[in-house]
Structure 1
Amino acid sequence: MLNKNTILSVFLIFVPISIAAHFAEWGSTVIFVTSGLAIIPLAAFMGAATEEIAVVVGPNLGGLLNATFGNATELIIALIALNAGLVNVVKATITGSLISNLLLVMGLSMLLGGLRYKEQEFQPIVARVNASSMNLAVIAILLPTAMDATSSGIDGSTLQKLSVAVAIVLILVYGLTLLFSMKTHSYLFDVGMAEIVLEDELQAKDSEKHTEEKPNLWLWMGVLLGITLIVALESELLVDSLEEATSQLGLTSLFTGVILLPVIGNAAEHATAVTVAMKNKMDLSVSVAVGSSLQIALFVAPVLVLTGWFIGQPMDLDFNPFELVAVAVAVLIANSISSDGKSNWLEGILLLAAYAVVGLAFYFHPVIEGLS
């Protein structure tokens, strides 16, 4: 029976195929599809390399490393798109990442976990803390958008200055959430983690015949660097072919940014959240899904705003109102369902239905002038 690693290894064939498609000029659609498929296993192996390094450097630095590289693939894709001037595609990707983690990933986790176990539980206090952080993220993109909508003739530089200031606040909050989750209140986030860690340790002992040797730090750092460079290359191919490919496929750049790119960048992480939910490790599943959303909102988006400021691209937190509504809806329903610390298959269906409705709305949304 094929396991996850075998499937991911098979997907690596798309790395040389996408490069060959670029040099042989097989067309934008082929390049876009193959480079997107190539990024999926690379993102998974980047996560595996990060975890191996975390074993060597210890839990505190390892936790910080995992938190920093958790959405590295999406950040790389967004940085390349930003450098290419596709500012609104970058904003759409941020929107889509928040929506897909909160609705698609949590929905699949709760549905498939709920079909196997009648009711699953996770820490309600963690859910409340995460809900408050996500509310802050909504406020962070609501106010610049509201400022633009309610002020006539507002200067673009003023919006960017506001966005930079807000971005700094969000990064500071992100640092404090790491301190909260990994240091001062780490015991809240350890529930449900011990069993999965023990299970992984037992599997590692069996496969390595009880060896106690730690991973080679320099080897895995080299692997991480190599994978990062390949991800950057594939992201370049993906972004360069995006506009023409989406046009040929009959898709808007808005739909591609909100729905397709987040799924490509986070497919491996999504699979992890669903897998552990089916093992009745709902604490860990929720942590992966919501934690990824928080990292996008409190770290990735602010970094992109600051980067845009430095390289002269007008990246700010003034989002399209339609995207803002979609994010607010996703946060509202996700917070409502997770507030009691319990989940079942019906709640998973509700989240997936909400994601389907949002996806359909973006699919039929007309092209926005200047989106690409």
Structure 2
Amino acid sequence: MKQKLPLPLWTIATPILAWIAYFGMSLDLGNFYAIVLAAALIGGVLAAVHHAEVVAHQVGEPYGTLLLALAITIIEVALIVSLMLTGGPETAALARDTVLAAVMIILTGIIGMCLLVGGVRYKEQVFSLPGVSAALVTLTAILVLTLILPNYTTSRQGPEYSPVQLGFVAIVSLVLYGTFVLVQAVRHRDFFLPPEADGDEDVHAAPPGKKVALLSALLLLICLGIVVLLAKALAPDIENAVINAGAPKSLVGVIIAAVVLLPEGLAAYRAARKNRLQTSLNLALGSALASIGLTIPAVAIVSIVTGMTITLGIDMKSTVLLLLSQFTIMLSLATGRTNILQGVVLLVIFAVYLFTIVAP
């Protein structure tokens, strides 16, 4: 008798084929090979989403969403740090641009899409207000301290922190994020638990088992690693396409951030379609917190050790859009219930963010 595989075959084969495609770049097979890499990237993203859901189902909320957010953010931080170390002074604003793009994509793009699809399918969706409030309070503090306050300090000219200030803000960011994780995973875990939704077959389905979950966790890391490496490999082609289209070079960072966030975005979207908005919000807000709460300390260490100057302060246009996004998110999630209107408003702000990059 044939033994049934613990996971769908495509979720195992796809990351392996993606890694083979990545190492095949050394063969210099021409421009057509970029299409192969793009297909491998999409396959890696879809496989990552599947394995993330398997792990999340085994460990339960909010540990599953926390695991996916941390895994993607750690790999994202490793990518940014490696680019900083190899790129030199030209990458001074890389961390700022990447973090800003990631936060805007999450707050307005991913959450907006989740609220929209949930509103279309279910009219109204509910979530645990204390958990979302805790995430938003922490996120607001970290955003202002890392991306806005540097514009108003006077120890250094320009939107930069001095080494002492940078080290202090890095510690503060870690304290805030660490406290949030403690509240989410230990002290007030019930704040982040989703209410049971009628018609959600996954709520009562049996967990996949420890062996299957461990295999999925390993494959998840493999998928996330190849997604980031393929995104980095495709960056020159994306940059050429953006330049040929006459768009600003800053759009490249947004595209790369969007690619890296695809697994989280798809997982959040699928949860919203199954009427699990709490899971979507846990994943989205947790990812935003991890992205900025871990990236800034990492690049601060690189800056202090190497003496490299990093630019953190964002310009006035970005400040207005960021504060508008944060204010709108707070109002949208203030009642514990959402509908189609909040999703449309957030997606409109996301569209304005993208439009002002192309036409500043």
Deviates more, 1:318-327 or 1:351-360: 318-327
SS of residue paired to 1:71: helix
Q: Partner of 1:154: helix, strand, or coil?
A: coil
1:109 positional shift: 0.8
2:250 is aligned with 1:254: yes
Q: Is the 8 A contact 1:91 1:319 kept in 2?
A: yes
Letter paired with 1:89: L
Paired with 1:248 and 1:121, the residues of 2 have a C-alpha distance of 45
Count of matched residue positions in the alignment of Structure 1 and Structure 2: 348
251, 276, 282: which one aligns with 1:281:
276
Q: Which residue of 2 aligns with 1:370?
A: none
Aligned to 2:320: 325
1:26 aligns with 2:30: yes
1:111-190 matches, cutoff 5 A: 111-140=116-145, 141-147=147-153, 151=154, 154=157, 159-190=162-193
Gaps of 5+ in 1: 206-212, 366-372
- The 1:36/1:82 distance shift into structure 2, 3 A limit, reads farther
In the other structure, the counterpart of 2:234 is: 238
Of 332, 355, 358, which residue of structure 2 is paired with 1:360? 355
Cα deviation for residue 57 of structure 1 reads 9.0
> What does the per-residue CA deviation read over 1:74-130, in whole Å, with 9 as the maximum and x for residues that have no partner?
334323332333332332121011011111111111111111112111112222212
Structure 2 CA distance for partners of 1:361 and 1:184, relative to 1, 3 Å = same
Task: Decide whether aligned partners of structure 1 residues 69 and 215 sit closer, same or farther in structure 2, where only a CA change above 3 A counts.
Answer: same
State the SS of the aligned residue for 1:178: helix
C-alpha offsets along residues 171-214 of structure 1, whole Å, 9 cap, x if unaligned?
A: 11111111111111111112337999982672656xxxxxxx63
Amino acid at match of 1:256: V
- Give the C-alpha shift of residue 261 in structure 1: 1.6
SS of residue in 2 equivalent to 1:26: coil
1:300-350: CA deviation from partner (whole Å, max 9, x where unpaired): 333233234334432342333433333222211111111111100111111
Do the aligned partners of residues 248 and 18 (structure 1) sit closer, same or farther apart at CA in structure 2, a change above 3 Å counting?
farther
Structure 2 unaligned regions, length at least 5: 1-7
Give the whole-Å Cα distance in 2 for the aligned partners of 1:241 and 1:214: 41
Cα pair distance change 1:314/1:48, threshold 3 Å? farther
Q: Is the 8 A contact 2:76 2:260 kept in 1?
A: yes
Q: Would the alpha carbon gap of residues 325 and 19 (structure 1) be closer, same or farther in structure 2, given more than 3 Å must change?
A: farther
* 2:110 counterpart (102, 105, 109): 105
Percent identity of equivalent pairs: 21
SS in 1 for 2:93: helix
CA deviation vs aligned residue, 1:9-65 (integer Å, no higher than 9, x gap): 8986666556556642635x974x765654444355456667777899999987864
**Aligned partner letter, 1:162:** Q
Q: Residues 45 and 263 of structure 2 are in contact (CA less than 8 Å); yes or no, is this contact kept in structure 1?
A: yes
Measured in 2, the distance between the counterparts of 1:115 and 1:159 equals: 48
For 1:225 and 1:272, how far apart are their aligned partners in 2? 15
What is aligned with 2:290? 295
The SS at the match of 2:357 is helix
Local SS of the residue matching 1:314: coil
Cα 1:138–1:184 shift into 2, 3 Å: same
Relative to structure 1, the CA distance from residue 346 to residue 248 in structure 2 (aligned partners, 3 Å threshold; closer, same or farther) is: same
Structure 1 residues 257 and 216: alpha-carbon distance in aligned structure 2, compared to 1, 3 A threshold? same
Q: Where does residue 368 of structure 1 map in the other structure? A: none
CA distance in structure 2 between the aligned counterparts of 1:277 and 1:123, rounded to whole angstroms:
14
TM-score when scaled to structure 1? 0.77
CA distance in 1, matches of 2:131, 2:263: 24
Summarize deviations over 1:142-182 as a string: whole Å, max 9, x none: 111222xxx49638985343223201111111111111111
Structure 1 residue matching 2:342: 3-state secondary structure: helix
1:272–1:359 distance in 2 versus 1, CA, 3 Å:
same
State the partner residue of 2:84: 82
Computed over aligned residues only, the root mean square deviation of the Cα atoms, in angstroms, reads 3.8
Q: Per-residue deviation at 1:240?
A: 5.3
Partners of 2:213 and 2:354 in 1: CA distance:
42
Please tell me the residue identity of whatever aligns with 1:248: N
* AA aligned opposite 1:253: K
1:69 offset after TM fit, Å? Answer: 1.0
2:334 is aligned with what amino acid?
S
